[in-house]
Structure 1
Amino acid sequence: MKRFSQLAWPYMIWVILMILLPMLLILFYSLTTSGNDIINFTFTLDHFKKFFTDPDFLLVLWRSLTIAVKTTIICVVLGYPVAYFIARSSDRVRNILVLAITLPMWINMLVRTYAWIGILSDGGIAQTILGFFGFKDVELLYTEGSVLLGMVYNFIPFMILQINTSLCKMDKSLLEASADLGANRVQTFLRVTLPLSLSGVVSGITLVFLPAVSSFFIPKLLGGGQFFLIGNVIENQFITVGEWNFGSAISMIMAVIMMVCMYAIRKIDERNSGGGNQES
């Protein structure tokens, strides 16, 4: 057993080099002032104070969390019925539908987001369709709706695949037992299918909410610079302003928020799993 445990060392070294060290470097930048040399450092908490005392930054953070929550809710509402339909299909149809869901993900997310600019812009397909139904001069691009659309389009496959996996692993004999006990389809879904698929829903929420709250190129492209989220603030601090220390502080704040969200989601998942085990 000890011999096999040594196989994990390359992965541990990879994690240290690619995750732990960069995070420590960001933490170091967030706690120091600019203009330090190699030997002397000046530590400060002013960057964190600046963020939490500036109402503009807090507004951007609130807007980012709101957009992420809206994206997650829409992905759950739209993704669950699709995942349920896929799981109830035959094996051949299920494989085709899963391929149809994953096929767009083979294309770079940035390219797919650029495609929506042409669809939503003036004279695009969406404007043409709305004009056919009498809705002319409707602004589709560079709005909160366009940002939400881009978020949902890019992240909903993660929700569908997670829920579909959970539904496919479900013991079908439980559905038969529910029918034998006199439950109709609605009762079976609410009391059997939905509780047993919550683990997939929770996993999907994790995979959608975390990248949505920190996304920067989707609001930048579909928001046209008029819809600023926290990811855009971080990018702006590093690339445009050159305030690496303040940008690192914002990054650490977002990292803490994400870890808290992951912990809360994990606890909810454990509670649901534990409750299901007790009921069984």
Structure 2
Amino acid sequence: MDDWRSRPVLFLAFLAPGALWLALFFLAPLAMVWLLAFGEKAGPVAIDITWTLANYQAALDPLYLKLFWKSFWIAALATAACLVVAFPAALLVSFASPRSKPLLLLLLVLPFWTNLLIRTYSLIAVLRGNGYLNDGLGLLWQVLRFLLTPVGLAGLAGDRFQPLELLYNDAAVVLGVTYVYLPFMVLPLYATLERLDRSLLEASLDLGASQWRTFWSVTVPLAWPGIVSGVILVFIPALGTFLISDLLGGPDALLVGNVIERQFKAANNLPLGAALSFLLLYATFAVLAARAWHGARAARLG
């Protein structure tokens, strides 16, 4: 391939459409929000850019910092849950037969064909008091009581089944984030495992290592690039989520994303919402910078 300096006009022709799109629909709106963080409300809709730091000072209030910390842990737990579920699924697809692999891949990408809102509402139908999960548990309770009645132990199952409170708590939010963002973990893992040299696994087993030892000592290190990519793809959007926590978490499971959304809409306090947004963005950049530093350090040492 020719160096771009030899054909600068052709290079710019290919670069210009994408660069223009990013500048108009990504950088320009981002710059506007960044400016809003240094503004003050001058009326119902007017905002004056006075370069004040009061909005950032308000965003660093302990109440908001507590929400940042809570959002971090919710995102971390959901990311860990996605990794635990996604790794076996990615292994299953990558080691599947050529005949069944296209069908399994179709099942992996199928959630992308459904709107996020619809998927979240479907989870409400599963978790609510009279939802599918509680109905299934109630049916199991009836079966258990039926089996225990002849031996006089029906009292161990209780007089009636009490539906579990599965909605409107932090656990429901973690489950919802895991459910929604699971494909973003599976696909990078599958792409990495698909390129894995199977002879290394065979060599490990031939040398006497167990399946478990081979998994931890060979498979996981070789799949590390996919693990890192999946963690980033899940953790970053989970950190700023607000729709899932709003629908599944209720008023007691607020995350920083919910506060930002309400500052821009219900409270009509755009400067504070912008400051909170950029604090979240700075935290995301810090995570990415730490990852880049760790990768560069590992490359130097390795």
Q: What is the CA-CA distance between 1:274 and the residue it aligns to?
A: 6.2
Q: Which letter does structure 1 place at the counterpart of 2:91?
A: Y
In structure 2, do the counterparts of structure 1 residues 241 and 5 end up closer, same or farther at CA, with 3 Å as the change threshold? same
Distance in 2 between residues matched to 1:39 and 1:115, nearest whole Å: 40
2:188 aligned partner: 162
Residues 191-228 of structure 1: CA deviation (Å, up to 9, x unaligned): 22111100000000001000101000000011123311
1:51 aligned partner: 59
Distance in 2 between residues matched to 1:166 and 1:59, nearest whole Å: 36
Identical-residue share of aligned pairs (%)? 35
Moved more, 164-173 or 198-207: 164-173
In structure 2, do the counterparts of structure 1 residues 89 and 273 end up closer, same or farther at CA, with 3 Å as the change threshold? farther
Question: Does structure 2 conserve the Cα–Cα contact (< 8 Å) formed by 1:83 and 1:160?
Answer: yes
Distance in 2 between residues matched to 1:272 and 1:154, nearest whole Å: 32
TM-score relative to the length of structure 1: 0.91
Instruction: Choose between structure 1 and 2: higher helix proportion.
Output: 1
TM-score relative to the length of structure 2: 0.85
**1:250 aligned onto 2:256:** no
Question: Does structure 1 conserve the Cα–Cα contact (< 8 Å) formed by 2:38 and 2:49?
Answer: no
In structure 2, do the counterparts of structure 1 residues 96 and 41 end up closer, same or farther at CA, with 3 Å as the change threshold? closer
Question: Does structure 2 conserve the Cα–Cα contact (< 8 Å) formed by 1:48 and 1:250?
Answer: yes
**1:176 aligned onto 2:182:** no
2:153 aligned partner: none
**1:89 aligned onto 2:115:** no
**1:127 aligned onto 2:134:** yes
Question: Does structure 1 conserve the Cα–Cα contact (< 8 Å) formed by 2:130 and 2:163?
Answer: no
In structure 2, do the counterparts of structure 1 residues 42 and 192 end up closer, same or farther at CA, with 3 Å as the change threshold? same
Q: What is the CA-CA distance between 1:73 and the residue it aligns to?
A: 0.7
Give the 5 Å matches for 1:190-269: 190-269=216-295
Give the 5 Å matches for 1:2-81: 2-6=8-12, 7-35=14-42, 41-52=49-60, 54-81=61-88
Equivalenced residue count is: 275
In structure 2, do the counterparts of structure 1 residues 173 and 27 end up closer, same or farther at CA, with 3 Å as the change threshold? same
Residues 136-180 of structure 1: CA deviation (Å, up to 9, x unaligned): 231111111211111000001111111111000112232233344
Q: Which runs of 5+ in 1 are unaligned?
A: none
Q: What is the CA-CA distance between 1:273 and the residue it aligns to?
A: 6.0
Q: Which runs of 5+ in 2 are unaligned?
A: 142-160
Give the 5 Å matches for 1:130-145: 130-134=137-141, 136-145=162-171
Question: Does structure 1 conserve the Cα–Cα contact (< 8 Å) formed by 2:41 and 2:47?
Answer: no
2:155 aligned partner: none
Q: What is the CA-CA distance between 1:261 and the residue it aligns to?
A: 1.0
Q: Which letter does structure 1 place at the counterpart of 2:38?
A: L
Q: What is the CA-CA distance between 1:271 and the residue it aligns to?
A: 4.9
In structure 2, do the counterparts of structure 1 residues 38 and 184 end up closer, same or farther at CA, with 3 Å as the change threshold? closer
Moved more, 235-244 or 78-87: 78-87
